[in-house]
Amino acid sequence: MREMTFAEAVVEAYRQEMRRDEDVVVMGIDVKASLWGTTKGLHDEFGPRRIINTPVCESSFTMVGIGAALTGLRPVIQISFADFMYLAMDPLVNTAAPWHYVSGGRYKVPLVVEAYSGARGHAMFSHSQSPQASFLNTPGLKMVIPATPADAKGLMAAAIRDDGPVIYFSHRRLLAQKGPVPEGEHLLPLGRAEIRREGRDLTMVAYGAVVHQCLEAAEALAGLGLSAEVIDLRTLVPWDEAAVVKSVAKTSRLLIVEDGRKRGGVGSEVAAVVAEKHIDLLDGPIVRVAALDTPVPFASTLEAAHLPGTEAIIRAARGL
């Protein structure tokens, strides 16, 4: 299988779906020039009617995308920094997410919002956040975050074909990562996790860039005689409860890792569900490793202290 970068895999998903369905359009700031490389070359093929540059106003062009979706198109909205999704929160939470429900099923909102999240070094608080947890509480929104180039392609294609609004997070640290990517049509079902490494002593649940840190930690733990199973959620809403429970039933211990802030994070939801419904499977407390409850600092030393590192994951696993 050929290798591609994460960004190239997203481009391939766009191209695949835009050739398949002329109703698919992409709009956002600098999508013609392709700020992050995920729309590179698409303007040359599809032109300005389908690759649409917008003004710098996330709330406005998100609402334009919602209107386009309600009238029959399948728009993909690019928000260059996930931090600025808060500017588009009203359109997403109060219009896109509930509209199918409040219309009694008469209207669909086949909208994808691709947002670039996570710290990439020295970008400070407003260009470094992982705000996935802020959208967990909104009924009607699906949320995906791939960790590999193959998943980047398969989840984007599936998101575009979904008839409801999907937030698709691309972690900025992964855009240049290379990996095998299937040729031709490649679709991954939303809501299904992937076991990245099998183990018997401990279940690690993660998503996005920290999946790779968990794999590094699992390798280090293996040298200490500890066998860790690593589960990549891939989809945060709906998350694959069955896969996590099956793993915990085998290992009896659960460690949840994320690079978003710990308080009210994605890990909080996973931990609560497991504790509420499956606590009899556990032989120890559920442990969470996450970013500190502070803004993301600018200084490299402070940024490293803010984010969960591989050593922190190893310490938490050993303690558990």
DSSP SS3 for 15 = helix
Q: In the structure encoding, which two tokens stand for residue 170, read together?
A: 């691309």
What are the backbone dihedrals phi and psi of residue 197, each rounded to the nearest 5 degrees, phi first? -155, 130
How far apart CA 177 and CA 159 sit, in angstroms, is 21
Report, as an integer, the average pLDDT of 197-222.
98
Q: What percent of the chain has pLDDT over 70?
A: 100
Helix crossing, 241-251 with 266-278: angle to 10°?
A: 60
What are the backbone dihedrals phi and psi of residue 108, each rounded to the nearest 5 degrees, phi first? -110, 155
Q: In order of start, what are the domains of the chain with their CATH numbers? A: 3-180 (3.40.50.970), 194-319 (3.40.50.920)
How far apart CA 100 and CA 271 sit, in angstroms, is 30
**46 neighbors 15 (Cβ within 8 angstroms):** no
Mean pLDDT of the chain: 95
Query: Using one digit for the tens of pLDDT, what is the confidence trace for 117-148?
Result: 888 778 778 887 889 999 999 999 999 999 99
How far apart CA 298 and CA 295 sit, in angstroms, is 9
**Which amino acid type is present at position 303?**
E
Q: Which residues are catalytic?
A: 127
Q: Write down the pLDDT at residue 245.
A: 98
Q: Write down the pLDDT at residue 27.
A: 96
DSSP SS3 for 32 = coil
